[in-house]
Amino acid sequence: MSQGEQRPPEGGHGPVDCSEALSRLFDFLDAEIDELDGDRIRQHLADCEPCLSEYDVEDHLKKLVRRSCHEAAPAELHLRIRQQLTVLQIQVDERG
């Protein structure tokens, strides 16, 4: 049907490109992808600052945290996300 289908990220070892990184960023932030994929996306974001700022990650985080306040452990989720971001910022900082 669709010819422009993207190849599945699973099983790939190469770096992700901007569109893949951004499209999977939500999953990454939600920690709903496995460690290997998460690592590749984190790697890209660390290399590609425009992705970070363009996607308004922090704004998304606020919404995510607010949404999850409805559920069990917002503090834990918030902490986990902050850890992810901190790691990203440290990596970007070290490279810059």
Report the residue number, 45 or 64, with the smaller CB distance to Zn ion. Answer: 45
> Under the criterion CB under 5 A, does residue 51 sit at the interface with Zn ion?
yes
Tokens of 45: 């974001």
Q: Which residue is nearest to Zn ion (CB)?
A: 48
Cα 7 to Cα 29: distance, rounded to the nearest angstrom: 22
> Under the criterion CB under 5 A, does residue 18 sit at the interface with Zn ion?
yes
> Under the criterion CB under 5 A, does residue 25 sit at the interface with Zn ion?
no
Report the residue number, 38 or 74, with the smaller CB distance to Zn ion. Answer: 38
What amino acid occupies position 21?
A
The residues near 41 (Cβ < 8 Å, ≥ 6 apart) are 16, 20, 21, 24, 25, 28, 33
Report the residue number, 65 or 85, with the smaller CB distance to Zn ion. Answer: 85
